């Protein structure tokens, strides 16, 4: 009989809150020891490298901090690191890719819809009026030319090419094939759009750049390296497609499925009416009726010709079984 009580107590203990209780000890011995330990800890952090101005937290340095404070010049001191010498200069005064603004990019792509036996390439066919060797993509004048100028790609993506050339970046070239194959297949043409894929909010390393080093050893046995920081503009071509064609059989199947799905509304309304509304039992009594096998009247047989006065006929009900209920 004590099980419910213990279970209630367990629930009450589980949803309780515990707080720390502080006790102030008025003791000279304990107080002096406490303050001495605190002063030793503070002196360790403050006294070490006292001549270095500021506190270093999350500092990005090209090496490992040794903990020593060494002279930087005649007036300043700095933290010593263990790393490659000289340290890396992480600044670029002149963008190295400004000349690439007039470079061109040729995109060759083909798409296939095997369900319809359709295949096409983005290269303009002969006789289309587009000369592949001389055309340059333009969203209004030359929308089908597959040769794109890099400066135009950056501009259509909403980017400034000199700023992009300074840090690099990732640009996306979207090629969409949205075709209605019930019409002329020659009207299935690609559509180009442009966007920037990398995030400009990356403070530590914005843009698209990376480092790689070449290591070698000098005759005196010392190890040397040449550190190269490379900047680049990467282009990702994203192709997507969707095609459709009119067919009488799929149309009939979808039409029948649409009309059949209308019955789902009736089922949902019945579930709400018979289970959740007030007076559901009353609605159930009106909607469902139990009829036993013994109460089903037999099929009336024909009366003999001479027994019209004594033969009783079963009366047929005119009740349709429909009720009107006010909600």
Whether residue 194 is predicted with pLDDT greater than 90 in this model: the reply is yes
**So what's the architecture of 98-244 in CATH?**
Sandwich (2.60)
**How many Å apart are CA 182 and CA 186, to the nearest integer?**
11
Across residues 241-267, what is the average pLDDT? 75
CA distances from 171 to 151, 161, 198, 199 (A): 12, 11, 8, 11
Whether residue 33 is predicted with pLDDT greater than 50 in this model: the reply is yes
Q: If you write DSSP's letter for every residue of 209-228 in order, what string do you get?
A: EEEEEEEEE-TTS-EEEEEE
**How many Å apart are CA 150 and CA 152, to the nearest integer?**
5
Full-model pTM: 0.52
**How many Å apart are CA 146 and CA 190, to the nearest integer?**
10
Q: Where are the domains of the chain?
A: 55-87, 98-244, 252-281
What percent of the chain has pLDDT above 90?
13
Can you name the residues that pair with 213 across neighbouring β-strands?
A: 227
Across residues 268-280, what is the average pLDDT? 72
């Amino acid at each position: 009989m004590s099980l419910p009580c213990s279970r209630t107590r367990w629930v009450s203990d589980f949803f309780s809150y515990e707080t720390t209780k502080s006790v102030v000890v008025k003791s000279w011995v304990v107080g002096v020891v406490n303050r001495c330990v605190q002063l030793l800890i503070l002196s360790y952090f403050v006294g070490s490298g006292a001549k270095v101005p500021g506190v270093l937290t999350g500092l990005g340095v090209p090496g490992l901090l040794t903990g020593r404070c060494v002279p930087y010049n005649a007036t300043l001191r700095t933290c010593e690191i263990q790393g490659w010498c000289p340290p890396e200069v992480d600044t670029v005064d002149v963008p190295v890719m400004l000349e690439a603004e007039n470079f061109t990019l040729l995109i060759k792509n083909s798409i296939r819809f095997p369900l319809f036996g359709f295949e096409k390439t983005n290269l303009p066919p002969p006789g289309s009026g587009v000369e592949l060797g001389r055309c340059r993509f333009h969203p209004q004048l030359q929308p089908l030319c597959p040769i794109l100028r890099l400066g135009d790609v950056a501009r259509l993506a909403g980017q400034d090419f000199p700023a992009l050339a300074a840090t690099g970046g990732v640009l996306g070239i979207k090629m969409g094939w949205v075709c209605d194959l019930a019409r002329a297949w020659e009207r299935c043409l690609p559509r180009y759009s442009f966007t920037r894929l990398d995030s400009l909010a990356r403070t530590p390393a914005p843009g698209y750049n990376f480092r790689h080093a070449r290591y070698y050893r000098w005759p005196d046995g010392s190890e040397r390296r040449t550190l190269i920081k490379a900047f680049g503009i990467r282009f990702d071509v994203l192709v997507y497609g969707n095609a459709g064609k009119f067919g009488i059989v799929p149309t009939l199947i979808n039409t029948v499925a649409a009309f059949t799905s209308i019955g789902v509304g009736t089922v949902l309304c019945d579930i709400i009416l018979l289970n959740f509304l007030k007076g559901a039992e009353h609605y159930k009594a009106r909607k469902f009726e139990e009829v036993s096998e013994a109460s089903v009247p037999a099929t009336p047989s024909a009366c003999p010709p001479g027994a019209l006065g004594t033969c009783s006929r079963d009366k047929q009900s005119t009740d349709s079984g429909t009720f009107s209920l006010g909600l």
